[in-house]
Chain A
Amino acid sequence: MRSFAPAEAFPETPTIAERTPHELSDLPSPRRALGAASRAAVALAPLLLSGCAVSYSTLEPVTDFGRAILDVYGAVLWVTIGIFVVVEALLLFALWRFRSRPDDPDVPEQVHGHTLVEIGWTLAPALILFLIAIPTVQTVFRTQAEPPGEDPLEIRVVGNQWWWKFEYLDLGFTTANEMHVPRGRTVRLTLTSDDVIHSFWVPRLGGKRDLNPGSENTLWFTADTTGVYEGHCAELCGTSHANMRLRVFVDEPDVFEAWAEEMASPAEPDSAGFQAFLASGCAACHAIDGTPAQGRMGPNLTRIGDRTTIAAAMLPNTPDEMAAWLRDPDSLKPGVLMPDLELSEERIDLLVRMMEDLR
C-alpha cells in the first residue's frame, strides 16, 4: 500500500491532470484505481452536465487541495455507483422473478432467514466502508496539517454581510471580493467573520470552510492553473446570501507581483471626484488608501477600477452598473447595508469616474 503512505506528501505528487495516460498506468494499482476513477468522474461530469459552463465544477479542481479531495470523491463516487447498480438490480430482479402468477401454489415457502447470509451482508459493506475510510482519513489529516513549503502567502479573509474582505497580511494591503493569488505558491487563508457565519467556497479551488465570528479557521491550497475562478458564500448569512459572491484570480507569479506592488502603493484619486466622495459621506464606511478616507465598515476601494466586478462579484464593473449601484443599492442587493444616499446624477457621475480611474 505504498501509495497511501503519508511519506508520499501529496503536494509533490504530480496531479492527475498533469499526468499522461501512460504515466497513470505506471502508478501502483490502488492509486491507479482511484486516479482512473476520478479521471472518469471528471470525464463523465461534462456529459452529465450536458455541456454546461463548468466554471464552478467541483470535479475540475485547479489546486492540490481540490485534487486531493477529488481523489477521495472519485473513489467514493464510483464505489457508491457500483453498490447502487448491484442493489437496485437485485431489487428489480426479485420483483420480476417473484411476481405472483396465477399458477402459484397457495403460499410460498415460509423462509424466516439465514444467519450466514446475514453475516455476509453485514461484513461486505463493512469492508467496503473500511476501504473508503482509509483515503478519507488520510486526506482529512493531510489537508488540515501545516501547509508545505517555506513561505505561504498569508491572506486573512473576513466575511461581512454580504461581501468579502481580503487582507494581504505580509504585503500590507487590503482589498475586497476579488482575490489574486500566484500560481505555484501555497496560499494560506485565515478565515473569520465580522458579523454572522459565512462559508468560503470556490469549488475549483477545493472544499469550503466556514468563517466563524469570534474564531479563526485556516485553509490552504496551491493553485496550478492560471485563470479566474468563481465562488460564493455557502452558509446562509441573511437576506442577500445569494448575492455574496467572489472571484479568485490565479496569476502567473510575475503578474501577481506586479499586481501586488500596485496594490501596495497609495492611490491618487481625481480631486473633484474625491471631494464628492467625502461630501457624500462615503468615507464613513469606505477606505481609499493614501487618502483621508479610512472607513472600515464597507469594502476597501483603493483599486476598485482594477476589479472586474462590483457588489461582491454580482455585477460587472462598468460605469453604467456602478452608477446604477450608487443610485439604489438595495434594489440590486436586497438588504444591503449601504444606504441609498440619494445622490444627484452629477455627483454619481463624478464618483463613477473617480472610481473607474482608481487603478
Chain B
Amino acid sequence: MSAEATTVDARTGESIYAGGWKSWLTTVDHKRIAVLYGATALIYFVVGGIQALVIRLQLAGPESTLVGADTYNQLFTMHGTTMVFLVLMPLAAAMFNYMIPLMIGARDVAFPRLNAFSFWTFLLGSILLNLSFFFGGAPDAGWFGYANLTSERYSPGMGIDYWMLSLQVLGVASIASAVNFTVTILNMRAPGMTMMRMPLFVWMSLVVQVLILLAFPAITVGLVFLMFDRFFGTHFYIPAAGGTPVLWQHLFWIFGHPEVYILILPSFGIVSDVLPTFSRKPLFGRPFVIFSGIAIGFLGFGVWSHHMFTTGLGPVADTAFAIGTMLIAIPTGVKIFNWIGTLWGGHIRFRTPLLFAVGMVAMFIIGGLSGIMHGSPPVDWQQHDSYFVVAHLHYVFFGGTVLGLFAGVYYWWPKVTGRMLDEGLGKIHFWTSLVGMNLTFFPMHFLGMDGMPRRVYTYAAGTGWADWNLVATIGAFVVGLGTLVFYVAAVKSLRSGEPAPGDPWDGATLEWTMSSPPPEYNFAETPEVHSARPYWLHKYGPTREASTHTMEEGTPPQPDEPPERIHLPSPSWWPLFTAFGFALAAGGALVGLAPVLLGVAILVTGVFLWAFQPLERPGGPVYGPSAASGD
C-alpha cells in the first residue's frame, strides 16, 4: 500500500493506514478492510480487462487463430465470473465498508471481525478460482455454467470443480458481509438519523444486502447439487436419470437476476448522492427515489425466467415474466427522471465525479431500454444469446455499474486517501471510457440484429460481421487506454496529490464533517442528525429552502479531539485463520479428503478462538483525553 506513506491523519500526525503487513492481516477497521477490498477489486479489474482484450482481439476478424476454442471458452467464462464476483461486487463492497459507517454516523460496522472474515474469505475464494489457470485448466462453461454441460460427462476437467467450489466460498463471504451491513445500517445509525434521512447510497446498499441475503442461497443450493452430481454421483441435472438441467437455470437465475440489481443498485445510490452535491440542490423526489429502489429490489425476485424465454416454458410463463420485467422498468424510469429533476435548476459543476455520474445515467438509459426490448419474449427469441444481449448487458454493467462506481471512486477518493485526484486526468479517463465503450458496445447491437450468436470463438468470413467486430475491438482498446489513465492518476495522487480538505466538494452528508482521511475512530463525538442533509444545513442554514424544511438544524463538523475516551476493537488473527480453514476445506476437495478435514479442523478451531477472544482487549487502540498517558 503506497497509501500508507502519504496519507496522514491530521490530528494524530500518523497515518491511519500506517503499520506493517501484520497490521493489515489482523485489521478489523472497516476503513482498512475497505482499502483491501478496493485494491483487490482494482487488481482483478486489470485481470478481467486483459481477458476482455484478448477476447476482442480474437474476434477482431473472421476465422482468427489467435487463441483456440478451449482457451476462448475459458477466457469469456473467467471474464464474466471475474468481473461480476471479483470486480464489481468487491468494488461496491469497498465503498459499503468505507462509507456506510461514515454516512450513518457510526464508529465501525456491527461485527468488525466478521467483516475481516468476509474479506479474507472473498480473497481466498478468488485466489482459488484463479489457481485453475495454473493447475488443471480454467472453467469454460460460461459464468452462468448451464447444466448439463457442467456435468462430469461433458466437462470432465477440473475447471468446473474450481468454479463451483470457489463460487460457494465467495457466496459465504457475500452472505456474511450482507448480514453485517444489514445490521450496521439498521442498528447503528446516529441519533436522529432516521431511515428516511439516510443518504441514498446507504439506502441502496441496504437493498443490495437484502438481495444478497435472499438471492445467494439459491445459487448455493444450485452449486451444492452440482457438487453432489460431480463428486457423489447424484443426478440432479442428469436427464438420463430423470433430472432436468432446467432446474439449474431456475436456481441460477433466481440468484442471477437479483444479482443484476446487486451490481447496479450501488451505482444508483452513488449517482443519487453525487448529482445533488454537484448541482448544489437536494435530491429531487427523495422518497420516490428510495421507494423505487426498494421496488426494483422486490420486483427483481419475480422476473428470473425472462432469462429463459427460449427454454420453452410456454406462453403463460412467458407472459407472466414479461409483464414482471416491464413493471421493473417503471421504478427504473422514476429514478432516471428524478436524477434529471435533480440537475434541473441547479448550478452544475462539471467535476470528474459529476461527469461519471451523468455518464452513468446517459449510458444506463441505453442498457435499460434495450432491456425493455428483450423483456418482450418474441423480441427476445431473436435477441437472446446474440450479440444484442452482449451490448445490452455491457451498457448496464459498464455504462451503469462501472461508470457509477467510478463516480464514487472519484467522489470519495479524497476522503479515503487524503489526496485529490488530478482533474485533468480524470476527465481524460471519463471521455476515453465514454467514447471507447460506445465504440465497443454499440456496434454489438447491430451484430446481434444481424444474427451473430454469443460465446463463439470464431465466425465465418461470409457472415458480414467482420467490420463491426473490428470497430468493437478498437473500442475495447480505447476503454483499456482510458482505464490505464485512471491507474496513472491514482498512483500520481498517492505519491504527490494535492492534500484533500475534509470537505472538498461542499458535500451535504456526514462523511464530509471530518478530516480526510478520517481518524481511526471516525467520529470524535457522536453526531446528532436533524435532516437528510445535515452538513449542508450547518453550512448554508435553511436559506432558500422550500418551506417545509426550514425548521431543520445542521450538524457541525467534528471536533479535533474526542471529548471522551474511545476504545476501538483490537486487531485479531482469527478472522484470517478461520477464513483460511474454510477456503482450505473447499479447495481441498480438489485434492482429497485429508485437506478437507484439515480445513474443517482449522475452521472450527478458528471459530472457537474467535468467539472467546474479547473484541476490545488491553493494548488495543484507545483515543481521547489522557489516552496518551496509557491505561
Asked if A76 contacts B549 (CB within 8 A), the reply is no
26 residue pairs from A and B, CB less than 8 Å apart: A49-B468, A52-B464, A56-B452, A83-B369, A87-B340, A94-B343, A99-B350, A109-B281, A111-B282, A112-B548, A113-B338, A114-B284, A121-B333, A125-B329, A129-B327, A137-B323, A140-B378, A196-B148, A207-B310, A208-B382, A210-B312, A212-B239, A234-B454, A238-B154, A242-B455, A334-B68
Asked if B312 contacts A209 (CB within 8 A), the reply is yes
Beta-carbon contacts under 8 Å, B277-333 to A: 279-282, 284-288, 310-312, 314-315, 318-319, 322-323, 326-327, 329-330, 333
Asked if A335 contacts B70 (CB within 8 A), the reply is yes
B246: Cβ under 8 A from any A Cβ: yes
Residues of A within 8 A of B281 (CB): 108-111
- B residues engaging A (CB < 8 A)? 68-70, 73, 140-142, 146, 148-149, 154, 239-240, 242-246, 279-282, 284-288, 310-312, 314-315, 318-319, 322-323, 326-327, 329-330, 333-334, 336-338, 340-341, 343-350, 358, 361-362, 365-366, 369-370, 372-373, 376-386, 446, 448-460, 462-465, 467-468, 540, 543-546, 548-549
Asked if A242 contacts B457 (CB within 8 A), the reply is yes
Residues of B within 8 A of A95 (CB): 343, 348, 358
B589 to nearest A CB, angstroms? 24
Most buried by B among A140, A204, A232, A233: A140
Residues of A within 8 A of B326 (CB): 129, 132-133
Residues of A within 8 A of B365 (CB): 84, 87-88, 91
In Å, the complex CA distance between A322 and B488 comes to: 54
Asked if B369 contacts A242 (CB within 8 A), the reply is no
Residues of B within 8 A of A68 (CB): 378
Residues of A within 8 A of B142 (CB): 236
Out of A56, A136, A210, which one reaches B451, CB within 8 Å?
Answer: A56
Asked if A208 contacts B450 (CB within 8 A), the reply is no
Asked if B450 contacts A49 (CB within 8 A), the reply is yes
In Å, the complex CA distance between A314 and B380 comes to: 26
Asked if A195 contacts B546 (CB within 8 A), the reply is no
In Å, the complex CA distance between A121 and B333 comes to: 8
A125 to nearest B CB, angstroms? 4
Residues of B within 8 A of A279 (CB): none
Asked if A98 contacts B344 (CB within 8 A), the reply is yes
Asked if B385 contacts A239 (CB within 8 A), the reply is no
Asked if A212 contacts B311 (CB within 8 A), the reply is yes
In Å, the complex CA distance between A339 and B384 comes to: 33
Asked if B463 contacts A53 (CB within 8 A), the reply is yes
A16: Cβ under 8 A from any B Cβ: no
> Given that A68-B378, A133-B326 are contacting pairs, would A53 and B464 also be in contact in the complex, using a CB cutoff of 8 Å?
yes
A291: Cβ under 8 A from any B Cβ: no
| Chain B residue nearest in CB terms to A206 | B381
> Given that A196-B154, A334-B68 are contacting pairs, would A129 and B382 also be in contact in the complex, using a CB cutoff of 8 Å?
no
A246: Cβ under 8 A from any B Cβ: no
Residues of A within 8 A of B457 (CB): 242
Out of A100, A132, A217, A238, which one reaches B372, CB within 8 Å?
Answer: A132
Asked if B319 contacts A140 (CB within 8 A), the reply is yes
Asked if B310 contacts A208 (CB within 8 A), the reply is yes
The 5 A-B residue pairs with the shortest CB-CB distance, nearest first, are: A207-B381, A56-B451, A214-B239, A52-B464, A242-B456
> Given that A98-B347, A208-B382 are contacting pairs, would A213 and B315 also be in contact in the complex, using a CB cutoff of 8 Å?
no
> Given that A52-B465, A55-B464, A80-B373 are contacting pairs, would A112 and B446 also be in contact in the complex, using a CB cutoff of 8 Å?
no
Asked if B467 contacts A109 (CB within 8 A), the reply is no
Asked if B336 contacts A87 (CB within 8 A), the reply is yes
A265 to nearest B CB, angstroms? 33
Beta-carbon contacts under 8 Å, A234-273 to B: 234-243, 245
> Given that A52-B467, A199-B310, A334-B70 are contacting pairs, would A77 and B346 also be in contact in the complex, using a CB cutoff of 8 Å?
no
In Å, the complex CA distance between A72 and B322 comes to: 13
- Number of CB contacts from chain A to chain B under 8 A: 304
Asked if B154 contacts A98 (CB within 8 A), the reply is no
A4: Cβ under 8 A from any B Cβ: no
In Å, the complex CA distance between A217 and B315 comes to: 12
Out of A49, A59, A208, A230, which one reaches B381, CB within 8 Å?
Answer: A208
Asked if B347 contacts A107 (CB within 8 A), the reply is yes
> Given that A197-B148, A199-B385, A334-B70 are contacting pairs, would A110 and B285 also be in contact in the complex, using a CB cutoff of 8 Å?
no
Out of B239, B379, B450, B543, which one reaches A72, CB within 8 Å?
Answer: B379
B354 to nearest A CB, angstroms? 9
| Chain A residue nearest in CB terms to B545 | A110
Asked if A76 contacts B376 (CB within 8 A), the reply is yes
Interface string of A103-136 (1 = CB under 8 A from B): 0101111111110011001100110010011001
Residues of A within 8 A of B149 (CB): 196-197, 236-238
Asked if B372 contacts A76 (CB within 8 A), the reply is yes
A57: Cβ under 8 A from any B Cβ: yes
| Chain B residue nearest in CB terms to A120 | B337
> Given that A72-B378, A207-B310 are contacting pairs, would A140 and B333 also be in contact in the complex, using a CB cutoff of 8 Å?
no
A143: Cβ under 8 A from any B Cβ: yes
A278: Cβ under 8 A from any B Cβ: no
| Chain B residue nearest in CB terms to A195 | B154
B156 to nearest A CB, angstroms? 11
In Å, the complex CA distance between A54 and B447 comes to: 11
In Å, the complex CA distance between A199 and B385 comes to: 9
Out of A94, A106, A213, A241, which one reaches B239, CB within 8 Å?
Answer: A213
Most buried by A among B141, B348, B362, B383: B348
Residues of A within 8 A of B69 (CB): 239-240, 242-243, 334-335
Asked if A234 contacts B446 (CB within 8 A), the reply is no
In Å, the complex CA distance between A145 and B315 comes to: 8
Beta-carbon contacts under 8 Å, A194-222 to B: 195-197, 199, 201, 203-204, 206-210, 212-215, 217
B278 to nearest A CB, angstroms? 9
Beta-carbon contacts under 8 Å, A130-189 to B: 132-133, 136-137, 139-141, 143-145, 161
B167 to nearest A CB, angstroms? 17
Asked if A139 contacts B369 (CB within 8 A), the reply is no
Residues of A within 8 A of B284 (CB): 111-114
| Chain B residue nearest in CB terms to A50 | B467
A58: Cβ under 8 A from any B Cβ: yes
In Å, the complex CA distance between A300 and B450 comes to: 31
Residues of B within 8 A of A121 (CB): 333-334, 337
Interface string of A55-98 (1 = CB under 8 A from B): 11111000000001100110011001001100110110011001
Out of B146, B366, B384, B446, which one reaches A197, CB within 8 Å?
Answer: B146
A358: Cβ under 8 A from any B Cβ: no
Asked if B450 contacts A57 (CB within 8 A), the reply is yes
A45: Cβ under 8 A from any B Cβ: yes
A249 to nearest B CB, angstroms? 17
